[in-house]
Structure 1
């Protein structure tokens, strides 16, 4: 497996950050501090950092200011949302689930859902993506 990193950006100029390797270590408290220190956090209602990225999985730490909302959307894969700080409302259809630190939900793929921060909140989003299978060509076995 080849180690993969992202490149420095104007938002995160401190160089490469490892995204995919046989072992990727993550200090979630430090990432939350980083998110809070960036101009995007001050200028927007949210900020996030991708912690791990492969063909089949993504892990993203998302921070939302109070009342910030991720509008209804679908994910192309099974997701898991685990609250690290704060309190969020996770909505599927007419069902609203309130989640606090240490609580999580899992949701099957392609189900419309939304997230609203009831307080300043940070949560992990894990996405197990549907891998597209190559189609067999006629005549191949």
Structure 2
């Protein structure tokens, strides 16, 4: 299997990391600490990093400040997000949910949803292409 890694950027000059290989180890607490230490977190209401990316699946670790909103969001593939900390308000198909730490929501492809952080929150987002 070909090992794939990202390229360093101005925001993450030391950011060269493996994104796809036969196996990828992910240190979630380290990424959460990194996200909160970056300038992007100071300037914006959210910050995220891709922990894994293959042709069929992507895993993103994200931190959201209270009030951060992702409105009218939908993707071509399936999507899950798991709440690590904080609390969210999620709207989908006319219903409202309040997932808390340890809970996860899953959406089929094309299902529009809106996510608002009720408090500072940490989530893991996984997308799947079918």
- Scaled by the length of structure 1, what TM-score is found? 0.89
Deviation at 1:129, TM superposition (A): 1.4
Unmatched runs of 5 consecutive residues or more in structure 2: none
The two structures, once aligned, show a CA RMSD in angstroms of 0.9
Which structure is larger by alpha-carbon Rg, 1 or 2? Answer: 1
Q: Is 1:114 the counterpart of 2:114 in the alignment?
A: yes
Aligned to 1:45: 45
Alignment: residue pair count: 130
Deviation at 1:123, TM superposition (A): 0.4
Which aligned pairs between 1:97-112 and structure 2 lie closer than 5 A?
97-112=97-112
Task: State the distance in 2 between where 1:106 and 1:122 align.
Answer: 17
Q: Secondary structure at the match of 1:100?
A: coil
**Higher mean C-alpha displacement, 33-42 vs 13-22:** 13-22
Deviation at 1:49, TM superposition (A): 0.2
Q: Secondary structure at the match of 1:32?
A: helix
| Runs of 4+ off more than 6 Å | none
Task: State the distance in 1 between where 2:27 and 2:102 align.
Answer: 16
Aligned to 1:81: 81
What do residues 62-113 of structure 1 show as CA deviations (whole Å, max 9, x unaligned)? 1110011011121111111100111111210221111111100111110101
Task: State the distance in 2 between where 1:54 and 1:17 align.
Answer: 14
Task: State the distance in 1 between where 2:90 and 2:112 align.
Answer: 11
